[in-house]
Amino acid sequence: MDDAELQAIRAARLQELQKNAGQKGGEEQTLNAALGQVLEPSARERLSRVNMVRPDRARAVEQYIMRLVQSGQVRQKIQEDDVVQILNGLARDEAKRNETKIVFSRRDKSSSYTASQADNEDEDEDDFFD
């Protein structure tokens, strides 16, 4: 490839990335403005602290709150206690999904392989080499 072509491709890619970043930034600003209207300052502060530690969980709470707002279930501003309840609910759901269950399936005695059967097979194999 020619240097001019390569430079043009790089410039186009950079422009595309900047455009995508601008769209994401606009969506984030819209989300923050909407959350600012429905959250009490203490709840907003709690959510920002959660965002520092667990950004994925904070995004899940924000999405949940936005679904509540869009469905018209929010009648008053959301308190810090409500955010804590939502966080606890998410933690419980996540723990249920990640819970490992170990099941032991035992064989019944009639179908099990006994030591005397193993000895008989060993004796048969020894005859082959004699």
Domain ranges of the chain: 3-97
pLDDT at 112: 54
User: Which CATH number is associated with domain 3-97?
Assistant: 1.10.8.140
pLDDT at 40: 92
Task: Report the predicted TM-score, pTM, of the whole model to 2 decimal places.
Answer: 0.56
Contact 41, 2 (CB under 8 A): no
d(CA 39, CA 19): 30
Q: Which residues of the chain have pLDDT under 50?
A: none
The residue whose two tokens read 């390569």 is 6
Tell me phi and psi for residue 56, to 5 degrees.
Answer: -65, -40
pLDDT at 13: 81
